[in-house]
């Protein structure tokens, strides 16, 4: 049906809404939908290190990344319309600064989706390295918490949640340091270009994803003020 879109979903429910009338849209729900999709993408990517990479995993992740892009452009269109239509902006109950922040936060989420889609191909090369795979999973769990608290910090402007992101980021950096040590200490990685390139690219993607969550948190409560 024309104009019918999924605006929220989880393991048990799918929320559909007609999007032809901009007055019925909710920017926070669109951002929440993007966040929900990314959460699922990342969990499947990290857990596939132990459960095995299915042949269709990359296609599934790419398809979800496309959906994130669609939701992102929908959010941008709503914000642009609201800036030109004061009545719509009033209905959304958001100031111009608020809308700008949502636009920036959505951009970070869209970037995270792209990075996860890129990460899948690198991790598929490392699944046979059990010690490294286990460490990447731990790093992934730390990132999952960062994502959860960063979005909560942003939507509720919670200082406590921002502190949680900071704590998780310190843990994340320690785990990344351990991963980096394997690049030079593991002989098989040193002599095997496939492993070394996959390791370097995986670490780079994980670090960039973490920066997305830090930057979203900064929109609510700058982390450099939390020390």
pTM for the whole structure:
0.84
Domain assignment present for residue 164? The answer is yes
* Phi, psi torsion values for 172, nearest 5 degrees: -60, -45
Cα Rg, the chain, nearest whole Å: 19
> For each of the chain's 227 residues, which pLDDT tens digit applies?
445 666 666 556 776 766 555 555 678 888 988 999 999 899 988 888 776 656 688 888 888 899 899 889 888 888 888 888 777 777 777 788 888 899 999 999 999 999 999 998 888 777 777 788 888 889 999 999 999 999 999 988 888 888 889 889 999 999 999 888 877 766 666 566 777 788 889 999 999 999 999 999 988 765 444 44
Phi and psi, residue 5, nearest 5°: -135, 155
Angle of helix 159-185 versus helix 130-156 axis, rounded to 10: 160
Decide if 84 is inside a domain.
yes
How many domains, in total, are found in the chain?
Answer: 1
Rounded Cα distance between 123 and 146, Å, is 20
Residue 182, domain CATH: 1.20.58.220
H/E stretch holding 16 reads strand 14-18
Gap between the Cα atoms of 144 and 152, Å rounded: 13
- Among 106, 55, 63, 99, CA closest to 79: 99
SS3 label, residue 10: coil
Residue 162 · residue 221 · CB < 8 Å: yes
Q: Are 116 and 45 in contact (CB under 8 A)?
A: yes
**Residues 27, 42 contacting (CB under 8 angstroms):** no
Residue 158 lies inside a defined structural domain of this protein: yes
CA 159 to chain centre: 20
Whether 60 is in a domain gets the answer: yes
Residue 18 lies in a domain: no
- Can you give the residue range of the structural domain that contains 195? 27-225
């Amino acid at each position: 049906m024309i104009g019918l879109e999924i605006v929220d979903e989880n393991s048990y429910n799918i929320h559909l809404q007609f999007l032809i009338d901009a007055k019925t849209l909710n920017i926070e729900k669109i951002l929440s939908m993007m966040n929900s999709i990314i959460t699922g993408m990342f969990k499947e990517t990290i857990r596939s290190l132990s459960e095995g990479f299915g042949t269709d995993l990359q296609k599934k992740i790419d398809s979800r990344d496309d959906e994130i892009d669609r939701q992102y452009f929908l959010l941008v269109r709503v914000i642009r319309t609201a800036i030109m239509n004061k009545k719509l902006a009033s209905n959304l109950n958001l100031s111009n600064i608020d809308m700008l922040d949502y636009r920036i936060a959505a951009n970070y989420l869209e970037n995270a989706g792209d990075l996860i889609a890129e990460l899948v191909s690198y991790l598929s090369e490392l699944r046979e390295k059990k010690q490294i795979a286990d460490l990447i999973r731990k790093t992934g769990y730390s990132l999952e918490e960062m994502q959860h608290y960063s979005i909560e910090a942003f939507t509720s402007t919670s200082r406590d949640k921002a502190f949680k992101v900071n704590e998780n980021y310190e843990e994340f950096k320690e785990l990344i340091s351990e991963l980096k040590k394997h690049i030079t200490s593991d002989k098989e990685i040193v002599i095997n270009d496939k492993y070394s390139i996959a390791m370097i690219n995986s670490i780079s993607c994980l670090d960039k994803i973490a920066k997305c969550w830090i930057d979203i948190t900064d929109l609510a409560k700058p982390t450099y003020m939390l020390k």
